[in-house]
Every structure is written in structure tokens, then in C-alpha cells.
Copies of this chain bind each other. A is one copy, B any other.
């Protein structure tokens, strides 16, 4: 018997810590991202957990190592931190560089990577980028997007935890779909058929009866056959559901508070990434404009002359026009659209008693794209059973879900934010596939 202790646990220096260590000697490890060999020696750019660091290595005494040193080798270096002014935006920290005293190679690749990491931006076809994802994600621009998504998800959780929400983990293998329709994946579950969760909707609502306020960050699955830049078939959904609302605008207000904190944290934590990506985080204004779907169609008619009056939803083109209008006229890149018609929203959506045929529902648009869907839900058992029947559904198929309503639920509502879409709009990435590590679409199951 021996003992394991945690005395040796020492996390790697952060880029920020390293930036403040000029004059000190450090030992760090990293992977060679780029190397530029010159007469006097070489610039060695190391990839670390939170940035690239520039190292300088003299030729004298290092001839042999320099000869064989190459990209994607894992190394440990010891050297002196020196002040520097590095202009390359992919470097972090940019205020120092490391003058290498000694370098040890810990692992070498079997082959030369087919991806050229010296480019500022990978100019690969998106299919090539995604085929080589374990490699292309090693590029600083690709990494940066994932780090921003990380901040968004972590801040979503922290903001809600601070408002009395409980985090839940709900099953992804289910006996029925929340959103209905054909867009559902089927699983062979032992001797029967099951489905992959299209959303945690049912479970969030059950959660309201249990914890009053719940949230979940997790995968959802949509078997949508569309191959567009706005769709993937598996994505990360930021979900919350809250009890005791007085109006569906309470949900929008909480979203606004959460978004404020998310945008602030991205600015605070991801300055390096934002600068490298040339991205500008949208401001959450003191009031987010909200229009009904009817008003939204009218705005589009006024701006473009195109008449969508009576259409039950917004087209992608309308979303772009509306966001442009909102920014120009109302000073907000965020725009709520409310009161979608009953037939376009799922059966659990509460109808608006004051506007028959419409629901207490909303979408949030950002920079031309819908990033959130939410609304007030039905909490009354009788009302829910009626609406299921009106939708041609069989209440008996939803027995577990309806337990919550039958035995009591407070008035409640909630929403879902698509993490990939939100990240894409914040960073102005055209195709949401590039905001996630390993996207899944109709044609893509690997890597």
C-alpha cells in the first residue's frame, strides 16, 4: 500500500500570470504551434491551454534540437520571461516572450499535419475543416470560438444558480418527443423503440413542480433534414423554466438579466479571443424592444415593401430585416418577437386570453437570427388536456408528463437558447457548425 497525495498538483500558469512574470525563470510545457528557423536560432510558438506563447531559442548549443524540432511536438521548456511587444494577435500574452534555456521533447507526431497553422485564418473549405476537426481545432481562431462558447455556457449556469435555480440532468432517451412531429431520432432500446430528446421541455416543467426554478445545459437532438448554415442535428441547449411568473414577460426579463451577464463575462474573460476574431459583443440595452408577430410583419412591409401579413412565422429574410431595423431605429441588436399563432407553437404553450389565436410566446432575434424560443406554459391540467386533444394528440401517451399538471403546478414559463447560434451571432460566424467542436448534420457523423 502506498499513498496518493495532491501536493504536487500545480495547474499550468495562465497567460495572464505569465504576462506578469518578466524577469523570472519558468518551466512550462506546450505543443509547437509554429516554428520559424532563422540564422541566429528560431521563434518557437507554443500552444498552451489558454493561448499561444512566443519563445525565442538561440542556435548556439541547440543545433541538434533545432534541427529536429517541428510543429505538433510536445515539449517542456525552461527559460527566462522577458518583456516584449508582440504584434501577432494570436499570441497571448503579448507583453512577454520566453528566452529558452533548455527544451525537452516529450512526444513527436507520426506524420506532418496536413493543416498549415501559420495562416491567420484557415482558408479551408468547411467540409475539409470539419473532416480534419481534431487538427483544425488546434488553430487559434477555431479554438477561440469554443472558448467563447465555454464562457457563455458557464455564465448562463452561474447567473441562474445565483437566482435560485437548481441544475437538473434529464433523460435523453425518452418514450415520446417534446416537440412532436417527424423530426425525431429513433433508438433501439432493448426490445422496444425509444426516441432521443428534442428538448428537455417535459422534464423542465416537471422540475418546476419540484424545485420551482430549474435549468439544464445539455444536448438535444433534432432529425431535421435541412442542410443549412443555421441547423445542426445535435446541439447544446441552454434551458430554463421558472414557476410563479405573473406574465410571460417575466421570462423575457430573466433572459435579459442572464444575457447581460453573459455578454459582460465574454468581454471580461475573452478579450484575447475577441480581439483575434475581430468580434464585437452586442450590447444589451436598458430595454430590449419587443414587437408582436403582426407588428413585425408590418415593419418588414414598411422597410422592404414585401407583405408577409398573416404568415404564421418569420422567414429567415424577415429576421434579418427586423434586426437591421431594430438596430437602426431602436438602437438594439436584440429584438423580441411575441405572440406567435397557436398552431405554430407546441401544445404546451399558453394561449393569450386577450388575443385569441395567438400565444404568450416569444422568440429572441440577434443579428438576423433567432437564438431563443420561449413562452408561458399551460399549468392547468384541464386546459392542457383540452389543447392536446385540439392538436390531435392522445393525452394518455403523456401520462408521466401530465402527472405534474394533474397534481398541481404553479403558473410558469421558460425558454431555450441555442448555444451554437448565440455564439455564431456574437462572433459573426456564418455557419454554426464552426462554433461547435464536432458538429452533426445530415451528412456528417464523424469525426
Q: Spell out A's residues near B (CB within 8 Å).
A: 1-9, 11-12, 14, 29-31, 47-50, 71-74, 76, 106-114, 132-135, 137-138, 143, 146-147, 149-150, 153-154, 157, 161-175, 185-190, 192, 194, 196, 203, 206-207, 209-213, 218-219, 221, 223, 225, 233-234, 236, 243-244, 249-250, 252-254, 256-257, 260, 286-291, 295, 330, 336, 379-382, 399-401, 403-411, 419, 436-440, 442, 445-447
Contact = CB atoms under 8 A, between A and B. Distances in A.
18 contacts: A4-B336, A5-B256, A5-B286, A6-B257, A11-B162, A11-B164, A30-B212, A49-B166, A71-B408, A107-B410, A132-B403, A133-B400, A134-B403, A135-B403, A137-B210, A146-B210, A168-B437, A194-B445
A71 B408 CA distance: 9
A411 B106 contact: yes
Stoichiometry, copies per complex? 2
A68 B210 CA distance: 22
A289 B2 contact: yes
Contacts of A223: 190
Contacts of A445: 173-175, 189, 192, 194
A249 to B, nearest CB: 6
A447 B168 CA distance: 15
A6 B74 CA distance: 48
A438 B49 contact: no
A182 to B, nearest CB: 12
